[in-house]
Amino acid sequence: MAASTAVVPVPGDESLACYLENARTYSQASKAPNTRRAYRADWAAFERFCREHAQVSLPASPRTVALYASALAGSGRVKANTITRHLSAISQAHQLAGLPSPTREALVRTVMAGIRRVHGTAVRAKAPVSPELLKRFLEHVPQDLRGMRDRALLLVGFAGAFRRSELVALRVKDVQFVPEGLAATIPHSKTDADGAGEIIGIPYGKDEVTCPVRALRAWLENSGVEEGPIFCAVDRWTGVSRRPLEDHRVALIIKKLAAKAGCDPAAFSAHSLRSGFATAAAEGGASERAIMDQTRHRSLKQVRRYIRRGSLFRDNPVRNTAL
């Protein structure tokens, strides 16, 4: 985001100038990498809109921001929740530049309220990967080194309810095999921005074929990965790379296996493992607290969506009727 260079202005005292770059780095690190990428793209789109319509982007007037939001909504291609993210990027740019955010003004808030009412805010969720579906996917994993990695990736991703960024960031030093299974430390996560770290347990699976602990051990032993990122890229010519798997590759692996299993790949994403775990746990009768401990959600609202999905038929009141 262009405005990020304006953060932490240095006063006249030249002795403070040496700290400017560090301050910029720490300021940028306050947001997750994916969030920063999205904000940069959103800010670039707003600057482009302003250039095309002879408007000032920084500082932007509330009228300009309201018109931009209306233009996005009127295009029919941008959802209300995405427009909200665009406005967050605009707000961040102004704050980093030490300027008041135009998104807080009544005009902008009123226009956004109208956009939400007209266009709605429902999110088209990706399909969860249930345990049964996961087993079908695994039937199409090849019996080679890359297949071992993908098997471990999917099973650990499901059992640990990992976000894709957390999954590819796992390092050998972050996991410990214990008698009960696997203890994994997550140094940073979306809900742990301060990096306090969280530990989750992944017990041995009932079926050796779909056991996440055994799958991870097999991958580490056969790949020779002893330090650094656990889930590395696998090159067809040179074997295991020390390069960590890129997070978008998780979704591609899932989509590829979904297609081979006869499912619509567009219905799945990397989040399908996480939502699949929460839904299956709810179906199995796990408590809200137990699910939240594993998924590391901070909001009951999101977890209860999974619980509701998981109990749609188990606790359905139709069962108590004469039908």
Residues carrying an active site annotation: 163, 190, 271, 274, 297, 306
**Whole-angstrom Cα distance, residue 93 to residue 99?**
9
The neighbouring-strand residues paired with 243 are none
Nearest to 122 by CA among 73, 78, 81, 71: 81
The tokens describing 99, both together, are: 């300027």
Q: Which stretches of the chain are DSSP H helices?
A: 20-28, 33-52, 62-75, 80-96, 106-119, 131-138, 145-159, 164-169, 212-223, 248-260, 271-283, 288-295, 300-310
Would you call 39 exposed, middle or buried from its count of C-beta atoms within 10 A (0-12, 13-18, 19+)?
buried
Nearest to 154 by CA among 252, 244, 294, 279: 252
Q: What is the DSSP letter of 192?
A: B
**Whole-angstrom Cα distance, residue 114 to residue 120?**
9
Crossing angle of the two packed helices 145-159 and 248-260, in degrees rounded to 10: 100
C-beta separation of 240 from 226 below 8 A: no
Helix (H, G, I), strand (E, B) or coil at 64: helix
Q: Supply angle C-alpha 45, 117, 44, rounded to 5.
A: 5
